[in-house]
A and B are shown apart, each in its own frame.
Chain A
Amino acid sequence: MLARKNLQLNEHGDLHHLLAIEGLPRRIIERILDTAESFVGINEREVKVVPLLRGKSIFNIFFENSTRTRTTFEIAAKRLSADVVNLDVARSSTSKGETILDTIANLTAMHADMFVVRHSESGAPYLIAQHAAPHVHVVNAGDGRHEHPTQGLLDMFTIRHYKKDFTRLTVAIVGDVLHSRVARSQIHALTTLGVPELRVIGPRTLLPLDAERLGVRVFDSLDEGLKGVDVVTMLRLQNERMSGALLPSASEYFARYGLTPQRLALAKPDAIVLHPGPMNRGVEIDSAVADGAQSVILPQVTFGIAVRMAVMAILAGATR
């Protein structure tokens, strides 16, 4: 893991690639969140563009489809005045047999400055970062079950916006933690930022076996786990999990783990509810909660643009 950690930082200790939250020093996480604060104001102006990355070419390379994440990266890059090229690689070169590294070499020959990479295989962005030209920056936009660092960062931005101080919070992550790259990034970020109590709640079959060893409290009862929490993150229940032996049915899942107003009432009165989207209403979350006063799901999306702008601006300013 040590080589992976170092890969993200240049010799000055600045962020050169964003591949994972794991191994990121607290000062870098906080710098990204602080910089994002300034971009929030830009996004509220009539002219939502700054010239910071003028002339830079950013390639969104999505080996796995994701319209939402790709769109937020695209908006972020455009608001920094970068030129953005979207590549739906899932449907092009790789299906003709080209390797990832050949795809990357070709794009580098087109003078790319930054790659935003989504891949179904954990570690794919590392492979690309290892082989990228020295001036090229890589952002992990989600790799397999591993991490989704910009989602983790925007979750931190959202939590900080509403709760200010991480060191007094109890945070619960509910659902399929085992298969969730969002959960993994969140757990690393929350731990680094000093959250004293972190809980994971879900069916035992969907929770990491070693969670307790990592200092995370494990609950298989949602009612028990929600008591007194400040922040609840609901994870999307991926439909493909339903087909295996891991879960009985969507309706039974909702009955046991769906977040309803009655259950949310067990948390602190001012608790906030996060969801990385896309939501399955009536599966992991009740519409009354998703659209309710404690939901910060849409602010997450808005803040996500500012956080991605901050990541790209900081990376583009780092040199090898």
Chain B
Amino acid sequence: MSEHLLPDAELLFATLKERMAPAIAYDARLVGVYSGGAWLADRLAAELDGEHPVGYIDVSFYRDDLATSGLKATVRSTQIPFSVQDAHIVLVDDVLFTGRSIRAAVNTLFDYGRPASVQLAVLVDRGGRELPIAADYVGAPLIVARELMLALDRHDDGTFVLTTEPWKAR
């Protein structure tokens, strides 16, 4: 599938933002999952009303596929510059698929404290869940062939674009 058949990521972002604006806690903390979710969390924090501190999670140390996939070549540092304890957290990711990354992200979060609540915001829900996980805010559902990896990319000017490529072996 080439890029022009994919929906405009900026339109999906606008929808996601519209759905979150009236619903999230006024002091909700946004925690983006690297790398696409981190970009989304940054833009959401800047464009949503209210004060929304931003943190970032790299789920590499919490994944369940070390034995088959190995450790990712580039592991980013998880940075949560606020107390998770008793906070309202919105996890932000670009694509919700099997649910395994979100499972890992929730576990990561709980090693920093016990949040009051955790919600999930994703730009795209492509189905294919392998775990009982659902998003609270979705830009749009999208059907993509299983053989393709769907991910968010960011142009130099900060605007978003969706891309697909075959899954990498490692």
Contact = CB atoms under 8 A, between A and B. Distances in A.
Interface in A286-320: 313-314, 316-319
Nearest to B69: A317
B77 A41 contact: yes
9 contacts: A14-B70, A38-B58, A38-B60, A42-B78, A47-B112, A52-B66, A52-B71, A316-B67, A319-B67
Interface of B: 58, 60-63, 66-71, 73-79, 107, 111-113, 170
A317 B61 contact: no
Given A47-B111, A50-B61, A41 B69 contact: no
A12 interface: yes
A317 B112 contact: no
Contact of B62 (A34, A39, A51): A51
Contacts, number: 58
Which are the 9 A-B pairs with shortest beta-carbon distances? A317-B70, A50-B61, A317-B71, A47-B111, A38-B75, A38-B77, A52-B61, A317-B66, A41-B77
A5 interface: no
Given A38-B76, A42-B61, A51-B107, 19 more contacts: A12-B170, A14-B70, A31-B73, A34-B74, A35-B71, A38-B58, A38-B60, A45-B112, A46-B112, A50-B62, A50-B111, A51-B61, A51-B62, A52-B62, A314-B70, A316-B67, A317-B67, A319-B67, A319-B70
B55 to A, nearest CB: 12
B61 A38 contact: yes
Interface of A: 12, 14, 31, 34-35, 37-42, 45-47, 49-53, 313-314, 316-319
A133 to B, nearest CB: 15
A303 to B, nearest CB: 14
A89 to B, nearest CB: 28
Q: Which of A12, A31, A51 has most B Cβ within 10 Å?
A: A51
A316 B170 contact: no
Nearest to A80: B61
A15 to B, nearest CB: 10
Contact of A314 (B67, B71, B107): B71
A59 to B, nearest CB: 19
B41 to A, nearest CB: 18
A51 B69 CA distance: 16
A41 B61 CA distance: 12
A39 B58 CA distance: 11
Contact of B71 (A12, A40, A49, A313): A313
B50 to A, nearest CB: 27
Contacts of A313: 61, 66, 71
Contacts of A37: 77
A301 B74 CA distance: 24
Contacts of A53: 66
A157 to B, nearest CB: 14
A40 B75 CA distance: 12
A49 B111 contact: yes
B69 A34 contact: no
A46 B69 CA distance: 29
A318 B69 CA distance: 8
A51 B65 CA distance: 12
A276 B60 CA distance: 30
B114 to A, nearest CB: 11
B71 A38 contact: no
Nearest to A53: B66
A53 B63 CA distance: 10
